[in-house]
A and B are shown apart, each in its own frame.
Chain A
Amino acid sequence: MANPNLAGNTSGSLDVHGINTSRDTMLGIMARKFFKNKLAVFGGVFLIVIITAAILAPVIAPYSPSKQNLLLKLQPPNSEHWLGTDRFGRDVFSRLLYGARISLLVGFASVLGSITIGTFLGAVAGYVGGIVDAMIMRFVDVILSIPSIFLLITLVTIFKPGVDKLILIFALLGWTTTARLVRGEFLSLRTREFVLASKTIGTKTMTIIFSHILPNAMGPIIVSATLAVGYVILAESGLSYLGLGIQPPHASWGNMLQDAQNFTILLKSWWYPLAPGLMILMTVICFNFVGDGLRDALDPKINE
């Protein structure tokens, strides 16, 4: 039965957030906990704005991101160019919007890939155990023992850098931590009684792994995914900053920064590097805020 005290408390706070439900569903409780965390809500709103802006970039952007106008180079912010122009006279605001597309696409797509691989291998390793587990985890150890930034640089120089290749490389290198996390979750979940109970009703192994145990491990997986998106965006910016990421004239936040790394620009046209720098900073921080909020919301041990 629902605890009457709990039900009493919740109806009040539900009204505040405009969620109209009389029943305490799992999702309702999680949403309520998430919305109580102000930083997480701020992060979430910011990310939604950024993502919408990135999707709508062709509509919103006042100029083409690669249209040069050398007469108007390095203009400070003004009514025509809201964030000024770069050293080829391109509109910084437009480039920022198109850059967001690339940065977010690389972030989301590669994390989707790495989470899928990591979850699958981690789940199998944790549930099956024994020699399968040992082999998968030693493979993880091998990948983790290679310093990732150098491997990234090497791979990027071998294969010509491009959005698709960056996504692939990040996905193929990023799954190891997820695999470890998921394996750990499965090791403890597989001994729970409901797993034995579902075996006694004749459920097949794959169904037990993916539709009975996996939903129980979703909390940590979602959290690590949000944190990983922030990390990948940062790593992509780092690579682009080194000139190994997205190649000009395509805009990404990283290569906009690289473009601005010139002493005179830094000294005189401070607004130019500030814009992409601030975007990277804010996006990564907001992903971390959302990740923190989700972790608290998904952990049943943390009370409202």
Chain B
Amino acid sequence: MTALLELKNLKTYFKRKKTVIPAVDGVDLVINKGETVALVGESGSGKSITSLSIMKLIPSPPGEIVDGQIHFEGRDLVKLSEEEMCKIRGNDISMIFQEPMTSLNPVLTIGEQIIEVLTYHQGLNQSAAKLKAIEMLELVGFSRAKEIINDYPHRLSGGMRQRVMIAMAMSCNPKLLIADEPTTALDVTIQAQILDLMKDLSKRFDTSILIITHDLGVVSEVADRVVVMYAGQVVEEALVEDLFENPLHPYTNGLMGSIPSIDEDHSRLVSIEGNVPSPENLPSGCRFAPRCPNAFDRCFSELPELSRKFGNRSVRCFLHDGKEGQR
């Protein structure tokens, strides 16, 4: 497999008056062609900032990509001008969001919004773009696409709007679709529909997907590979089967442990003790050390490296130090 997108040591910092907040602190990430990668982590772990950095839509000031590279099809996106990025956004890389209720413009019809993407990137004229928009809406499962196209977003339900968003995002056959918690705001039956739709379309168009979520159920359903983030850094990376079978990092372990199970009878839900450290004063050693049940002295003084383990796994933890190259 060839890499479509490769992040190398990406650092996105937010600068406030005197403090610097390292929201994304040295992230390495590879997405291969046709692959679905899940980016998992708690709120505030830097997942969304990573995805916005790829689109180069970090609000600036105060945000800034201070270091690292984003290789996309042989080009480094960090170095591209805003104008060149506009051509990539929506055409090569597109994005869908968590809140389908607010991510469509309430005063423009569904058709107008999809047609805009098509006329801008594909150079289609109005009538050709309209035909293509109807085709896309049918593709995402609207049987009344010809009527929906003249409707305003307020007439559609959340699931329908998310499908419109997917139709819009997929209309230019992007090579990469970034989905930022696409199912969080939807109820469970609709979640499954949306995930199936995304899987189906990615196969059909050979689109890679970067799905950002904190729902491990979603991960197991769609992802080929999982990247776990904690406090702005990648702590573990593995194929989805490996990760669920044998999580290496104590944080991943904790995430797995906090999934409520119907078989066991807990009076309280299991959770990881403590909170994500505030990015302004990160612990000096391993960032997870203060919450880690297995932490020892070294964890509090040194920051472990993300090191390659057996197979295709990487983990950032001293517990697995010295086991390199094991198979």
Tell me, rounded to whole Å, the shortest Cβ–Cβ distance linking A210 to chain B. Answer: 13
Identity of the chain B residue whose Cβ is nearest the Cβ of A199 in the assembled complex: B57
**A200 pairs with B89, CB closer than 8 A:** yes
Q: A130 vs B62: C-alpha distance in the bound complex, in angstroms?
A: 11
Tally of contact residues, A, Cβ under 8 A: 22
**B102 pairs with A194, CB closer than 8 A:** yes
Is B202's CB within 8 Å of the partner chain A? Answer: no
Within 8 A of A (CB), among B224-278: none
Tell me, rounded to whole Å, the shortest Cβ–Cβ distance linking A9 to chain B. Answer: 16
Residues 147-169 of chain B: 1 if any A CB is under 8 Å from the residue's CB, otherwise 0?
Answer: 00000100111001000010011
**A201 pairs with B90, CB closer than 8 A:** yes
**A26 pairs with B107, CB closer than 8 A:** yes
Is B145's CB within 8 Å of the partner chain A? Answer: no
Is A301's CB within 8 Å of the partner chain B? Answer: no
Tally of contact residues, B, Cβ under 8 A: 33
Whether A26 contacts B57 in the complex (CB less than 8 A), given A196-B97, A201-B90, A215-B108, comes out as: no
Identity of the chain B residue whose Cβ is nearest the Cβ of A194 in the assembled complex: B105
Tell me, rounded to whole Å, the shortest Cβ–Cβ distance linking B13 to chain A. Answer: 19
**B120 pairs with A197, CB closer than 8 A:** no
Tell me, rounded to whole Å, the shortest Cβ–Cβ distance linking B246 to chain A. Answer: 36
State the total of A-B contacts with C-beta under 8 angstroms.
72
Tell me, rounded to whole Å, the shortest Cβ–Cβ distance linking B26 to chain A. Answer: 25
Identity of the chain B residue whose Cβ is nearest the Cβ of A204 in the assembled complex: B86
Interface centre among A2, A194, A198, A200 (most CB of B within 10 A): A200
Is A247's CB within 8 Å of the partner chain B? Answer: no
Whether A193 contacts B87 in the complex (CB less than 8 A), given A26-B152, A201-B116, A201-B117, comes out as: no
**A197 pairs with B88, CB closer than 8 A:** no
Q: A194 vs B105: C-alpha distance in the bound complex, in angstroms?
A: 5
Tell me, rounded to whole Å, the shortest Cβ–Cβ distance linking A25 to chain B. Answer: 7
Q: A204 vs B85: C-alpha distance in the bound complex, in angstroms?
A: 10
Whether A203 contacts B156 in the complex (CB less than 8 A), given A26-B107, A194-B103, A215-B107, comes out as: no
Across-interface contacts of B90 in A (CB, < 8 A): 200-203
Within 8 A of A (CB), among B116-167: 116-117, 120-121, 152, 155-157, 160, 165
Is A212's CB within 8 Å of the partner chain B? Answer: yes
**A193 pairs with B95, CB closer than 8 A:** no
**A1 pairs with B155, CB closer than 8 A:** yes
Q: A200 vs B103: C-alpha distance in the bound complex, in angstroms?
A: 11
Q: 21 A-B residue contacts at CB 8 Å? A: A1-B155, A24-B155, A193-B97, A193-B99, A193-B103, A196-B57, A197-B104, A199-B57, A200-B57, A200-B95, A200-B169, A201-B94, A201-B120, A202-B90, A202-B91, A202-B117, A203-B120, A204-B86, A216-B105, A216-B106, A218-B107
Beyond the given pairs A193-B103, A200-B55, 14 more chain A to chain B contacts, judged by CB atoms under 8 angstroms and listed by A's residue number, are A2-B155, A25-B152, A193-B97, A193-B102, A197-B104, A197-B165, A201-B89, A201-B116, A201-B121, A202-B89, A202-B91, A203-B116, A216-B105, A216-B106
